[in-house]
Structure formats: C-alpha cells, structure tokens
Amino acid sequence: MSYDPETTALVVVDMQNGFCHPDGSLYAPGSQAAIEPVGKLIDRARGAETPVIYTRDVHPPQQFEDAHYYDEFDRWGEHVLEGTWEAEIVDELPVADEDHVIVKHTYDAFYQTELEGWLAAHNIDTLLFCGTLANVCVFHSAASAGLRDFKPVLVEDALGYLKDEHLEYAVGHTEFLFGETTTLEALDLEANI
C-alpha cells in the first residue's frame, strides 16, 4: 500500500499506562504486546516524515456524575483519571516535540476534540491507526474518521486487544464498513511514503 506523506498521519491510540502496564487498572496483555510493533510503526512514520498523533484517554473524576446513560466508570470502573500516572503514555513510546497529542474523554478521538480541525489545517486525508483497544477506541475513532471522509487504515498487527475475537471483529468490520487494513510487513512507510 502506498501513501502520500504530505496527506497521511499515524494515529497512536491510547498507549497509556492504565491499559498497557501490568499495574494499570485496565491492563491487557495484548495492549502491552502492542508496544513493540507500535514503536516500530512510529519509527517508520518519523523516518518518512509522516506526522504522528497520539491520543490519550483521560477522565476527570467527576466526568460521569450527571450521565444519563454513557458512563464508562460504571462499565469499566475508574480508569486513566486526569493527572494520574495511568493517563500518561507508556515510557517505551516517548512523545517527540513534533508529535501532536489529542486528549479525549470518550472512545472516539474526534468527539469534542480538535482532531478534525488539526487534520484539516495540515491537509491530512489518510489516517493509519494503531494502538489499543482494537475493538473499542481504535475502532470507534477509525469509524468516526471514515464518517468524516478521512481514509482510515488499521495496522492490524500493531493493535492491542483483550481477546483474539475482539481483534478479528475490529479488523473485519473495518474492512466491511468503512476502511482498510494492512500489516507492518505490508506497510513499508520509508519506501511507500
């Protein structure tokens, strides 16, 4: 697959201590296992001068106090609270000065964030997605990108997950509904971008 470096960005979804570190409240071994391939993908993107965007899922402690229905704390318990170690990106994936960080408060990285405006300002139309969890924040952010007329591409072997079937679901539905998938091996950014 070939992508134009001037119109493509890598979106690294929620590679945070709360999800990827064994001491995190929503730790998943599959998320920790995604650190190495995500790191390789970040290195390739930087080598190709492709923008890297990190998302951070962050929740103020009072976020869901007045919720009518949508309450992540009720579903998952308190996690990645604002200002905590859990909410920080894992040490293995340091954010560079030129990277862009989006703080989000839901599964969707576009919902009430500046992501769409930032992408438009930088003439980005294609988004390579990696990170965690494949069937939650990655899937919802990629779907939201597709609905906004961006081209979402999931890098399927750089995704964290709880169960194999969750990964299969996210990859299958992405291909079926709104986007494309690829692998690290098939995606040679330095050669293609």
Residues 6+ apart with CB under 8 A from 117: none
Residue 71 has pLDDT above 90, yes or no: no
Is the pLDDT at 1 greater than 80? The verdict is no
Domain 8-192 fold = Rossmann fold (3.40.50)
d(C-alpha 11, C-alpha 74), whole Å: 28
What whole-number distance in Å separates Cα of residue 55 and Cα of residue 173?
A: 22
- Residues 113-124 as b/e (b if ≥16 CB within 10 A, e otherwise) read bebbeebeeeeb
Confidence of residue 188 (pLDDT cuts 50, 70, 90): low
Mean pLDDT across 26-39:
98
